[in-house]
Amino acid sequence: MKTKQYCNPLDLNYEYRIYNYGEKPWPICLEAADPMMVVFEGEYYLFSSMTRGYWVSSDMADWQFIRCDESQLPTIYGYAPALMVMDGAMYFHQGEHDKRLYRNKTPKNPNTWELVTDQCYIGHDPFMYYDEIDDRVWASFGCGEGETESIKVVELDRHTLEPIGEVHECIRFDPWTRGWERWLDEHVEENYGFLEGSQILRHNNKWYLIYSGFTLHKCYCNGVFVSDNPTGPYEYAQNNPVSHKNTGFVGGAGHGCFFEDLHGNFWNVTCASVYVTHGFERRLNLFPAGFDEDGLLYANTVLGDYPITLPDGKRDHREVYTPYMLLSKNCEVTVSSEDKAPPENPLHGDGLTYTQVPESRYVHVPGYAVDEDIRTMWAAATRSPGEWIQLDLGRPCDVKAIQLNIYTYNLLTADPAEKYHEYVIAYSEDNMNWTAAIDNRGEKLFAPHALHETSFRARYIRVTFYHVAGNGFAAVSGLRVFGTDGACKPAAVQNVRATRPAEDTRNCKLVWDKAEGADGYVVRYGIAPDKLYNQYQVYGEQVEIRTLTKGISYYFRVDSFNGGGVTMGTVTDKM
């Protein structure tokens, strides 16, 4: 049986979101966030904010969407869903200040949701957890300004699922000590931000209380506190943040949940930030995760937006399971046309909220399709069939996978009948003789982040568009080619110099000598030489890490990578 793969952001049929408040509405965009995933009767169920329905999969690679509207589940369309499995049923509670809680013993049938109680007010961003050991139900919640909000825990009645007993305040923000709680992409904002997105769970008789620092940016991440009791007191885990990814093609590793798969492996499903059309323009990421031998919770985001091999059994998620390397970064690009006009969106206007890539709505040069940033894009000058984009990889390569990220741009309609993409992906070794590898014309699929597994040798890759969802312009935020280029792995990084200033030990600057043959580097760091659970992915010979916690010592290692693979560096002394 062939091993399956996926690639972040997850390729799902995300729903359109139209923001019509204010005098000047924003353009239409795709949105999904705050994901919850559970295993129910041998399958995976994935719920997300602002989605009329949910997905089900037997392997976490191929997802079937179950459409479910408000007539079937009245609270389905909202933010921060809570999900729990107990007594052979799935329980759903929508987290935006609603007291209704529903149950379904056959969730593949969206008509079988039933009301359990209309008196389950937990609070904003709730999470429900059934503890099988003690046969009790616990909930965590909290969402608000970090200066005043806290993460709280309360018990739910085992039968009525209504809150009982004392509400316990367990976690408060402290960005002045914890660098990773600062917000904006590089954790540069010296302010509280938001506290939200909690989860409570039990593992090996320890209780883990997870929470997110709200930013909507690429640095969106999770932290965790640990206790012997569900109500605390909780102790800060020294390896925080437990999930963090603010570099690479798509960033964001916050507000979601950790869950155990059918093989006993843990995963972390999270928000992925786009933030071009609107601050809530997001996707979903999925990262390998686990507990180490000392009970430390972690999520592995190293090369976390490269293809990831899914397991067929138990495995150590501290390893990196990407079978191919990226071949397309900053390669030569030619296109049929380039959109040089301001957004022309007759459907929903051209407003724009704040983004850290301000030109991304107005500059659409071809190189933005290969710059490894989901927030920038190439866009064609027309919505006519036949617009194309072509990559020159620079040398013949063995191409094993292509991820085509299609951006929603200049739509004419939100009609579901027009929500599909049709294109042909072709390849060539000489730019004259072409062979079609993918032709999805007639399938009418909406797959905005499709990962196509391939096996061919080519230097040139061309995508020709024949229909774009919503009759929009052809627009690509990432045409990403993976495989091997025949090159040797790069040399190991030498002469790493780390400086952690005494005046602010939340930060550490690392500089190193250029490694021969390296395309980029992964800077791994953690609280012990064998616990380097955090990482930055960079394309120069320096980086400033701004996610450290005062009073905690760290080790660092800089690995080099190119189209031939990854070369491990040497761990630095404790800093």
The pLDDT tens digits of the residues spanning 28-60 come to 889 999 999 999 999 999 999 999 999 999 999
Tell me, yes or no, whether 204 lies in a domain.
Answer: yes
HSE-CB at 534 with a 13 A cutoff on CA atoms is 27
Mean pLDDT on 174-187: 92
Tell me, yes or no, whether 573 lies in a domain.
Answer: no
- pLDDT score recorded for residue 183: 87
Q: How confident is the model at residue 357 (pLDDT cuts 50, 70, 90)?
A: confident
Mean pLDDT for all residues in the chain: 94
Final residue before a domain boundary, out of 265, 291, 323: 323
Are residues 362 and 315 part of one domain?
Answer: no
Q: Are strands 388-406 and 332-335 parallel, antiparallel or unpaired?
A: antiparallel
Final residue before a domain boundary, out of 449, 484, 519: 484
Classify residue 433 by burial, with Cβ atoms within 10 Å: 0-12, 13-18, 19+.
Answer: exposed
- pLDDT score recorded for residue 185: 84
Q: How many residues does the chain have?
A: 575
Mean pLDDT on 403-409: 95
Tell me, yes or no, whether 492 lies in a domain.
Answer: no
Tell me, yes or no, whether 572 lies in a domain.
Answer: no
pLDDT digits (tens, 9 = 90+) for 223-250: 999 999 999 999 999 999 999 999 999 9
Are residues 120 and 65 part of one domain?
Answer: yes
Mean pLDDT on 493-506: 97
- pLDDT score recorded for residue 348: 53
Distances (CA, A) of 472 to 65, 100, 335, 451: 23, 39, 17, 21
Paired residues of 340 in beta bridges: none
Are residues 273 and 137 part of one domain?
Answer: yes
Are residues 265 and 319 part of one domain?
Answer: yes
Single-letter residue type at 165: G
Are residues 470 and 505 part of one domain?
Answer: no
Tell me, yes or no, whether 94 lies in a domain.
Answer: yes
Q: Range of 255's domain?
A: 14-323
- pLDDT score recorded for residue 1: 58
Q: Where are the beta strands (DSSP E) in 136-265?
A: 136-141, 144-145, 150-156, 163-172, 194-203, 206-214, 221-227, 235-236, 254-260
Are residues 158 and 201 part of one domain?
Answer: yes
Distance CA 14, CA 529 (A): 40
Tell me, yes or no, whether 72 lies in a domain.
Answer: yes
Q: How confident is the model at residue 343 (pLDDT cuts 50, 70, 90)?
A: low
Q: What is the CATH number of the domain that holds 519?
A: 2.60.40.10
- Say if pTM beats, i.e. exceeds, 0.85: yes
Are residues 75 and 24 part of one domain?
Answer: yes
Paired residues of 105 in beta bridges: none
Are residues 410 and 559 part of one domain?
Answer: no
Phi, psi of 111 (to 5 degrees): -90, 0
- pLDDT score recorded for residue 345: 58
Are residues 218 and 84 part of one domain?
Answer: yes
Tell me, yes or no, whether 2 lies in a domain.
Answer: no
Q: Which single residue is written with the structure tokens 């990084």? A: 493
Are residues 518 and 424 part of one domain?
Answer: no
- Above 60 in pLDDT, residue 350? no
Which tokens belong to 184?
Answer: 């904006």
Are residues 332 and 315 part of one domain?
Answer: no
Tell me, yes or no, whether 5 lies in a domain.
Answer: no
Q: What is the CATH number of the domain that holds 415?
A: 2.60.120.260
Counting the structural domains of the chain, the total is: 3
**Are 280 and 324 spatial neighbours (Cβ–Cβ below 8 Å)?**
no
Are residues 508 and 462 part of one domain?
Answer: no
Final residue before a domain boundary, out of 458, 484, 510: 484
